[in-house]
Amino acid sequence: MEGDLDVGLLYRIMVRLGTLRNKNWGVSNDSDLLDLLSPAEQVVPQTEMLFRLERHVKFLEELGYLTVESQLMGGGFYGVRLTAGGQRFVQPELAEFGNAPLLPRVVESIESQILTYPEQSRGAFLFRLRESISQNSPELIAKLLVEVLPQMLSRTG
């Protein structure tokens, strides 16, 4: 069975709610989100648009990213606001609030997981990873993780 929730729409909803969180005490409703539907989805009757949007909002609510104060009769919803989990989603640096910094734990995890790879590949990768961190370069870290690590893994497999 093919899924029919649009991951892109889920992301757009969260971004929109993040931008609206400083307005109206962080409370939004369906009219704040309707324009996030694709142009093709906007040609159907409004009740269908609201139903589609509501299913996505309900999914995000069930994940704990937002709360919905009320479902309106005939479709629609009111009183949508981000939860603490939703706040962390739209502002990822909040995830470290009250916790140990994430980057050292990520580096430690990467290092422990690649111990089985050939020493030469492992050493070069770890050197480049630590060098990127020391240069405070998120772009280099991302490039290593996205491009170099998969190449290294394919050579050892």
pLDDT tens for the 157 residues of the chain, in order: 566 889 999 999 999 999 998 888 788 888 899 999 887 777 788 888 888 899 999 999 999 999 999 887 777 888 999 999 999 999 988 877 887 777 788 778 777 777 666 776 777 777 777 777 777 777 877 877 787 767 666 655 5
In sequence order, what are the residues at sequence separation of 6 or more whose Cβ sits closer than 8 angstroms to the Cβ of residue 156? 116, 117, 118, 121
**Class of residue 32 by CB neighbours under 10 A (exposed 0-12, middle 13-18, buried 19+):** middle
As a whole number of angstroms, the distance between CA 143 and CA 36 comes to 31
Q: What angle do CA 56, 78, 47 make, to 5 degrees?
A: 60
Domains of the chain: 7-93 (1.10.10.10), 100-156 (no CATH)
> Which of helix, strand or coil describes residue 28?
strand
Name the token pair of 69. 């104060």
